[in-house]
Structure 1
């Protein structure tokens, strides 16, 4: 649902002359507004619905900024940089906000509070590894003999780590025991998927050929 909604937002934003960077900033305001509410509000249905809607809208707008850039003829390095920096902050802040919410409003054993901390590490590692893999693949040619088709089921396995899927689960905040269980299950699946992804990304990077060395400009 989030991606079709993102396309609608992209058309509306383009129609009213918003730039991709402005859409990115609006997305960030929605997301961090939801996370701020998460840290301040005790579990209740109004708070749960508000947090989930803000996070989902932020995610949909995040997918819209790139579409606005394409509608306008292409993005810019600065826009890509801004988008990635905000995405990195959101990947960490989401789980930090869960930690604060649990600490303030949910009576949990101390060891359970370590799970959002570990998930922050997983999310940060996943984000950095994915961006680094894409960057290296742009910089270096791939060995054609190592080209492989990605399994069609791979995106399905990655769903637990998808930010949009995680955003929808926050509607369960009004049921703390249920939300804690769902969060822990998604965190465990995300950790398993990260290990699989890291292996896959390493194989892809290992298949790259080093770029040809540039001739030295220093004369003998």
Structure 2
């Protein structure tokens, strides 16, 4: 802990913000929304959580609840022009809090294997669930656009597979003591369409069927292309690690 642990709420918040601003991991190659919007907003949430005495698992639970609320709206409220904003905002807020739990854990010294596991499990359920809920909502409210439900199902598979690939590959590379190579600023902008934040805010168009029916499949197609490229690169990198290990 620190000298501000027993200070005023404001003092704890200011200390937390200062500490977080000075101890951020590199954002090179991280998709633009996550890098410049979500992570910065997550510092504020983490600082508020630290000052308020929240635990990292509490923030993870808040993240899950916000995302769930957005998905429930999709399911129970018929599409309307106004509906997209609260759905998108709730999904984006869920993603924001998802980025804050790890920062709070490191700041408060409460990092744990169990907490990291819970975080990843929530992500593993949430990522495909958004698309599965979309598929159901399409069939309930827009059955004439049944093909969009198929897109959503495919999107859920891509998201799930890509998530597992990324988590495992990063764990293997880290275990081997190799640096993670992510690229620079240009890569951050190129990856913007694959950013979870971009997906969350795309639901602002949910109530405008013609636009959503264009944007959502485009994001799905880009996600599929990116996943194919990423899987190939991950396999190549891990094969190189295997070869280096066998030669060593």
Q: Which of the five TM-score ranges fits, normalised by the shorter chain?
A: 0.7 to 0.9
Q: Distance in 1 between matches of 2:245 and 2:206?
A: 53
Structure 1 window deviating more from structure 2 (37-46 vs 77-86): it is 37-46
Conserved 8 A contact 2:139-2:145? no
Conserved 8 A contact 1:140-1:209? no
Q: Distance in 1 between matches of 2:70 and 2:115?
A: 23
1:194 corresponds, among 227, 230, 233, to 227
RMSD: 2.1
Conserved 8 A contact 2:59-2:98? yes
User: For residue 38 of structure 1, what is the aligned residue in structure 2?
Assistant: 74
Q: How many residues align?
A: 209
Q: Distance in 1 between matches of 2:147 and 2:88?
A: 26
User: For residue 216 of structure 1, what is the aligned residue in structure 2?
Assistant: none
Conserved 8 A contact 1:141-1:211? no
Is 1:205 paired with 2:238?
yes
Show CA shifts across 1:22-64 (max 9, x none).
1000100000111111111111133221111111111111111
Conserved 8 A contact 1:161-1:186? yes
Alignment of 1:47-62 (within 5 A): 47-62=83-98
Structure 1 stretches of 5 or more lacking a match?
A: 214-220
Conserved 8 A contact 1:139-1:211? no
Show CA shifts across 1:73-131 (max 9, x none).
25110011000000011111000111011111124343332111111110011000001
Q: Is the partner of 1:75 in helix, strand or coil?
A: coil
Conserved 8 A contact 1:92-1:123? yes
User: For residue 151 of structure 1, what is the aligned residue in structure 2?
Assistant: 183
Q: Distance in 2 between matches of 1:111 and 1:46?
A: 24
Alignment of 1:118-129 (within 5 A): 118-129=154-165
Conserved 8 A contact 2:136-2:149? no
Q: Distance in 1 between matches of 2:42 and 2:130?
A: 20
Conserved 8 A contact 1:31-1:59? yes
Q: Distance in 2 between matches of 1:150 and 1:45?
A: 38
Structure 2 stretches of 5 or more lacking a match?
A: 1-36
Structure 1 window deviating more from structure 2 (20-29 vs 105-114): it is 105-114
Q: Distance in 1 between matches of 2:135 and 2:170?
A: 31
Q: Distance in 2 between matches of 1:150 and 1:58?
A: 25
Q: Distance in 2 between matches of 1:91 and 1:28?
A: 11
Conserved 8 A contact 2:42-2:96? yes
Q: Is the partner of 1:208 in helix, strand or coil?
A: helix
Conserved 8 A contact 2:79-2:206? yes
Is 1:134 paired with 2:167?
no
User: For residue 88 of structure 1, what is the aligned residue in structure 2?
Assistant: 124
TM-score (norm 1): 0.87
User: For residue 217 of structure 2, what is the aligned residue in structure 1?
Assistant: 184
